């Protein structure tokens, strides 16, 4: 029984980590209605930034969020202003412009290879006093870094949910996500909201980057590992739903944990994609999604 609980707990904690990597993707899609194919690339940039701050200044990875989250917000905000907004304005009558999809796909390929050229293909790791450490509860061993990652994931989800519900900008973001034309008629500056939403979406990757580097290697394609998984998580939880991203991440994490323990990782990927397809057939809006989004 303890072994079963250990697998379950580690799956839930891993799912929390997956969830925080997917929050930005679902927020950006929920507001701007475009799929950001460069999502993993922004995560990779955040990981490199966190790694650089930790090595350069001797800062703890979790403390580095003080710098990395605002930096990631600025990267996202500027990216939206410089790259995405011109495409949206050029196709302002199109709800989901294809040019933005192509743009983000191009950014994904270009930036990944730029980092490969600048930093090489070497894997970099950050050793901390708690890397590889575990909590022992009876015969169970719980990873400390995964537990910390889960706590930061829940905290990020809660803070973002409160921000979206209790602040004027949060309400404006939700209004634009529900109906951009109506929001514009109510006096909301849609493109300003887009800029802030994209910035916040990338800022959540700043949190993810800081909590990942004590556990995993940093390299130019590190973000690609999470890309496809994040798309599955967002569909499971509901496109545009922040709590849904966390729940979707936990579902994927638990499935991976049990399948990896009792079967193998190939089965884990297969089961996850079966759940993904069943969700598309039975509840395409996801667990927390709306049946119809105007």
Query: In the predicted model, what is the mean pLDDT of the chain?
Result: 87
User: How confident is the model over 257-263, as a mean pLDDT?
Assistant: 83
Total domains in the chain come to: 1
pTM: 0.90
Flag whether 291 is in a domain.
Answer: no
Residues with Cβ < 8 Å from 291, sequence gap 6 or more?
Answer: 285
**Model pLDDT, residue 289:** 65
Quick one: which of 243, 237, 240 has its CA closest to 279?
Answer: 237
Flag whether 243 is in a domain.
Answer: no
- Residue 170 in this model has a pLDDT that exceeds 60: yes
Flag whether 259 is in a domain.
Answer: no
Flag whether 55 is in a domain.
Answer: yes
Residues with Cβ < 8 Å from 124, sequence gap 6 or more?
Answer: 51, 217, 218, 219
- Residue 225 in this model has a pLDDT that exceeds 70: yes
The span from the CA of 104 to the CA of 253, in Å, is 27
Do 287 and 247 meet the contact criterion of CB atoms below 8 Å apart? Answer: yes
Q: Which residue has the higher pLDDT, 266 or 29?
A: 29
User: How confident is the model over 219-240, as a mean pLDDT?
Assistant: 86
- Residue 237 in this model has a pLDDT that exceeds 60: yes
How does residue 294 score in pLDDT terms, banded at 50, 70 and 90?
A: very low
User: How confident is the model over 259-281, as a mean pLDDT?
Assistant: 82
Flag whether 167 is in a domain.
Answer: yes
Host domain of residue 102: 14-121+133-221
The span from the CA of 216 to the CA of 200, in Å, is 24
Do 203 and 193 meet the contact criterion of CB atoms below 8 Å apart? Answer: no
Quick one: which of 105, 124, 111, 125 has its CA closest to 75?
Answer: 111
The span from the CA of 80 to the CA of 96, in Å, is 15
The span from the CA of 285 to the CA of 244, in Å, is 11
**Model pLDDT, residue 260:** 80
Is the backbone of residue 121 left (phi > 0), alpha (psi -120 to 50) or beta?
alpha
Flag whether 73 is in a domain.
Answer: yes
**Model pLDDT, residue 293:** 46
Flag whether 128 is in a domain.
Answer: no
Flag whether 184 is in a domain.
Answer: yes
What is the residue-wise DSSP string for 105-140?
HHHHHHHHHHHHHHH-S--B----TTTT-EEEETTE
């Amino acid at each position: 029984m303890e072994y079963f609980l250990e697998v379950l707990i580690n799956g839930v904690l891993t799912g929390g980590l997956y969830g925080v990597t997917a929050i930005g993707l679902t927020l950006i899609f929920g507001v701007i209605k475009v799929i950001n194919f460069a999502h993993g690339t922004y995560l990779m940039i955040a990981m490199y930034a966190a790694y650089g701050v930790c090595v350069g200044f001797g800062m703890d990875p979790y403390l580095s969020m003080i710098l990395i989250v605002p930096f990631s917000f600025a990267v996202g905000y500027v990216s939206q202003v410089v790259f995405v907004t011109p495409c949206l304005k050029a196709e302002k009558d199109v709800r989901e412009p294809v040019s933005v999809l192509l743009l983000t796909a191009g950014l994904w390929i270009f930036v990944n290879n730029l980092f490969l050229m600048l930093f090489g293909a070497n894997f970099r790791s950050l050793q901390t006093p708690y890397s590889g450490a575990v909590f022992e509860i009876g015969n169970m061993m719980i990873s400390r870094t995964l537990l910390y990652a889960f706590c930061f994931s829940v905290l990020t989800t809660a803070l973002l949910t409160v921000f979206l519900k209790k602040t004027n900008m949060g309400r404006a973001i939700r209004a634009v996500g529900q109906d951009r034309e109506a929001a514009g008629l109510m006096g909301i500056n849609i493109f300003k909201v887009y800029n802030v939403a994209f910035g916040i979406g990338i800022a959540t990757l700043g949190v993810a980057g800081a909590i990942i580097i004590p556990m995993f290697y940093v390299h130019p394609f590190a973000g690609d590992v999470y890309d496809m998984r994040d798309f599955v998580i967002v569909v499971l939880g509901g496109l545009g739903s922040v709590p849904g991203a966390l729940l979707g991440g936990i579902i994927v994490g638990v499935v991976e944990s049990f399948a990896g323990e009792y079967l193998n990782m190939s089965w884990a990927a297969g089961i996850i994609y079966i759940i993904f397809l069943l969700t598309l057939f039975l509840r395409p809006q996801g667990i927390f999604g709306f049946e119809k989004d105007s």
